[in-house]
Structure 1
Amino acid sequence: MKKNRLANYLGLVTASALLLTACGETETIEEEASVDETEETNEQAEENTYPLTLDNYTVSEDGAEFTEKEITYESRPESIVANNQGTAELLLHLGLAEDLTGVAALYGEGDADVSEGFADIPVLSEGYVGKELVVGADPDIVVGRGQLFASAEWGTGTVDELNELDIMTYIQTTSVPGATFDDLYTDIDNLGKLFKVEESAEEFSEVVTARLDDITASVPEDAETLDYAYIFGAEGNNVDVYSGAADTYLNDALSYMNLNNVFADATGEISMEALLEADPDVLLLVNYTGGRAPEDSLADLEANEALSSLSAIQEDRVHTIDYNQFWSYGYQILTGMEDLSNAIYSVN
C-alpha cells in the first residue's frame, strides 16, 4: 500500500514537472511571439509612414533668402543636431532626448522644465556652429533656425550641402519671413510626424494654446496698441536699433498683446533719427549670453541726452527680453510674452 502511494506521488511530481516545463516553454514562445509581433507592428507602422514628404525650405548661402521645397524623408531620423538652444528644448518637449546628439548657439535663458535633459546633450559650440562640427557629429538630420543653414563659418552648411552628405534637414517654419504664430503649430505637427511622436506633439500643442489664451486674457480689454522697437545694444552714445522686419513670427506673436513693431516695414539700418521720429511707446532691450549686461545698457540709454525725449524712457517702459525666448523661433516666445505682460499690464 505504501509502495503504491509512493509510486503515485512520484508520478504526480513527474507529471507536474513536465507540465511546468511545458508551461514555461509555452510562456517563452508566447513572449517571443509578442516581441516579434511588436517589432513587426513597428516595422509596419514605419512602412506606412515613410517615405514622408513635408513642405519645407532651402535657404541661400548667406542664410537670407528662402525658397519653398518639398522634402522627402525615407525613414525616421535617429540622431539629431539642433542648431540652436531653443530647437533642442522643443525637441525635448516632444520626448526626443535620446535622439539628440548635438546642440549649439546657447545664447539665452534655458527652459527649466527640460534643463535636466538639455544638460545631457553634447554641446558642439556655445556659439553658432560650423559645418565641420555638425558633420563630425554624424547626425541623420539637422533641425533648427533657417538663417543658420548658411555656407559660412558660422553656418551649419546649406540644405543642399548637407543633403549631399546624406544628412536630412528641417528648417523651422517660424524662422522664415512671412511666418505667423500659427506656424509654431505647423512645426510641432511636422516634427511629430517626422519623428513618430504624434501624441506628444498634439499634447504639447494643447499646452501652447492654453498658455497663449492666458496671455491674451491678461491684456486689458481697453488696452491701446503700443508701438515697440528692439534695442540690441547700447554703450555710451552708441545705440544698436534692430528693425525686426523679417521676424514676422515675433511680430505676429506680440500682436496678441496689442504690441506693434514700429519698424516692421523698415529696410536697412535704423538710425537714431528714425528712432526719435518713431518715438515708440516701448523699447525691448535684448539680453543674450556673452553680450553686455542689460543693466549697463539700460543705464547708458537713460543717460543718453539725445534719447531723453523718447516716451519709452520718460515713462520707464524699457523692458529686457531674452534672446533664446525670442530668436529661437519656438514656444519660448510665450515665456517672453508672459514676462512682458506682467511688466506692461500688471497693476502696481
Structure 2
Amino acid sequence: MKKISTLFTAIVLTLTFLLTGCGTEPAAQNSASVSDSEKTATSYPLTVKNYTKAEGAAEWQEKTIIFEQAPERIVATTRTAAEFLIHLGLADKIVGVGGVFGKPDESVSQEFNKLKNLGKSYITKEVAMSVNPDFVFGRGGLFDNADWGVGTVDALNQMGINTYVMESSVPGGTFDSIYKDIETIGKIFGVPEKAQEFSAELKGRQEKVQNALKVIKQDKTFAYIHSSEPESLSVYAAYNDTFFSDMFKMLKLKNVFEKEQGEISVEALIEQNPNILVTLHWDTEGEAATQKDENATIKNIMTNPKLESLDAVKNKQVFVANYNHLFGYSYQTLDGVEKLAKELYPELFK
C-alpha cells in the first residue's frame, strides 16, 4: 500500500496544483465543442475548441485544434480513457494505453485486453511516442512534461500530434462534461450515432439514480480520506476539483473541505466531524497490487485510533470507492455513483 499510496499522494498534489488558483472555468465557458448543426456528419478539416496549459502554468487556456482527417493511431493516457474510446467503437485505432490499473469496465474488457499495454503506471512522453501516435487522448493532468506525463498539449501539437484534453478533467468540469466529450470525440472520428447511443445509455443510468434520491431532502456531509494508514493518514480537500465534487453532489453529499486549500489535518477532520467518510480502494494488477479487499480497507478506517471519535466511525458510515471511479474523470464515475448510492441508501434500491 505504501508504494501505491506514495504515488497517489504525488499525483493528487500535482492535480491539486493544476486545479488550484484557476480564475476561469474553461469547461463552463466552452461547453459547446461542436454546433448542433454539425452533430450528424463530419466534414474535414474539422475545427475543435479544446485546452492547453503551458508548462508550469496554473490555468488552462482555450486552444483550437484542427483535424485534417480522423486520427488513426490513438494513445489513451489511462484505462478509463481507453474504455471511453472503446464504447465509441474505436478500439481498432488505439495503439497503446497507459495507466492500466484500477477497476475495469467488464462490458468492454474483451476489447481492452487486446490493446497494447504501455504501462501499469502513468506513462512518459517517450513511452507514448514509442507507438507513433497521431492523437493523444485523456485527462488534463497527464498532459505535462513530467515523469508521469505524456508532454504538454503545445509540445505534442508542434510534433504534428493532435490532442484532446477531456473537458471533465479541467476546472469547471462536471459529470455533464462527459456528454460533451462524447459528442466531440464522436464528431472527430465521424461516429456521431455511436456517441449519441452511448450518451443516451449513460443519461438513463444517471437519471435512474437521481430519481431514486429525490426523496432525500437533507444533504449529508462527507470527507474523503485518500490514505488510511495510521502513520500517514491524509485527507484530500478536493479544492477546485469540480468533477470530483459533482460526483458526490449527485449522491446528496457535501464535502466539508470543498473550499479548503492545502493539507487538511486530522484535527480539522475531527473538528468538522462529517456524517460520512469515503476512502480509496486500489484495485491494481501484477506487482503493483495492494489492498484488494474492500472490507479490509474499511477496517483500516474503523480501527484507526486517530479517527475513533468521529461520528462516521461510531455509526459505521465508512464507504470505499475505486480509484478509477473517483479520479478517472470519465464515465466510469457513474459506476461509483451507483455503487455508493446503493450502499448509502439501500432501502431506495430494493
**TM-score, length-scaled by structure 1:** 0.83
Aligned to 2:61: 67
CA deviations 1:253-272 (Å, max 9, x no partner) are 32122111221111011111
The answer on 1:345 being equivalent to 2:345 is yes
The answer on 1:198 being equivalent to 2:192 is yes
Instruction: Identify which range, 229-238 or 154-163, moves more after superposition.
Output: 229-238
CA deviations 1:288-322 (Å, max 9, x no partner) are 22464254443332222331121211111111101
204, 218, 221: which one aligns with 1:224: 218
Aligned to 2:86: 92
CA deviations 1:110-164 (Å, max 9, x no partner) are 0010000000110111100000011111011000000000101110011111111
Aligned to 1:322: 322
CA contact (8 A) 2:172 2:242 kept: yes
Tell me, in whole angstroms, the C-alpha distance in 2 between the residues paired with 1:67 and 1:79. 26
SS at match of 1:219: helix
Aligned to 1:55: 49
Tell me, in whole angstroms, the C-alpha distance in 2 between the residues paired with 1:72 and 1:56. 10
List runs of 5+ in structure 2 lacking aligned partners.
1-40
The answer on 1:151 being equivalent to 2:145 is yes
Amino acid at match of 1:346: P
The answer on 1:270 being equivalent to 2:264 is yes
Amino acid at match of 2:225: I
CA contact (8 A) 1:237 1:304 kept: no
Instruction: Identify which range, 267-276 or 110-119, moves more after superposition.
Output: 267-276
Q: Matches of residues 207-218 of structure 1 in structure 2 within 5 Å? A: 207-218=201-212
CA contact (8 A) 1:62 1:151 kept: no
Q: Matches of residues 252-263 of structure 1 in structure 2 within 5 Å? A: 252-263=246-257
CA contact (8 A) 1:90 1:330 kept: yes
Q: Matches of residues 99-114 of structure 1 in structure 2 within 5 Å? A: 99-114=93-108
Rg bigger for which structure? Answer: 1
SS at match of 2:204: helix
SS at match of 2:215: coil
Amino acid at match of 1:143: F
CA contact (8 A) 2:142 2:148 kept: yes
Q: Matches of residues 30-49 of structure 1 in structure 2 within 5 Å? A: 49=43
Aligned to 1:10: none
287, 292, 300: which one aligns with 2:281: 287
CA contact (8 A) 1:57 1:68 kept: yes
Aligned to 2:241: 247
Tell me, in whole angstroms, the C-alpha distance in 1 between the residues paired with 2:148 and 2:305. 37
SS at match of 1:123: coil
The structural deviation recorded for 1:109 is 0.6
Amino acid at match of 2:48: L
Higher relative contact order (CA 8 A, sep 6+): 2
The structural deviation recorded for 1:243 is 1.1
CA contact (8 A) 1:235 1:297 kept: no
SS at match of 1:326: helix
Tell me, in whole angstroms, the C-alpha distance in 1 between the residues paired with 2:307 and 2:325. 27
Tell me, in whole angstroms, the C-alpha distance in 2 between the residues paired with 1:116 and 1:63. 39
Aligned to 1:301: 301
User: After the TM superposition, which segments of 4 or more aligned residues of structure 1 sit over 4 Å from their partners?
Assistant: 294-297
Amino acid at match of 1:87: A
Q: How many pairs were matched up?
A: 302
SS at match of 1:124: coil
Aligned to 1:19: none
The structural deviation recorded for 1:61 is 2.4
Q: 1:319 to 1:231 in 2, by over 3 A?
A: same
Tell me, in whole angstroms, the C-alpha distance in 2 between the residues paired with 1:48 and 1:240. 47
CA contact (8 A) 2:298 2:319 kept: no
Aligned to 1:139: 133
User: Identity over the aligned pairs, expressed in percent?
Assistant: 39
List runs of 5+ in structure 1 lacking aligned partners.
1-46
Amino acid at match of 2:136: V
Tell me, in whole angstroms, the C-alpha distance in 1 between the residues paired with 2:173 and 2:94. 26
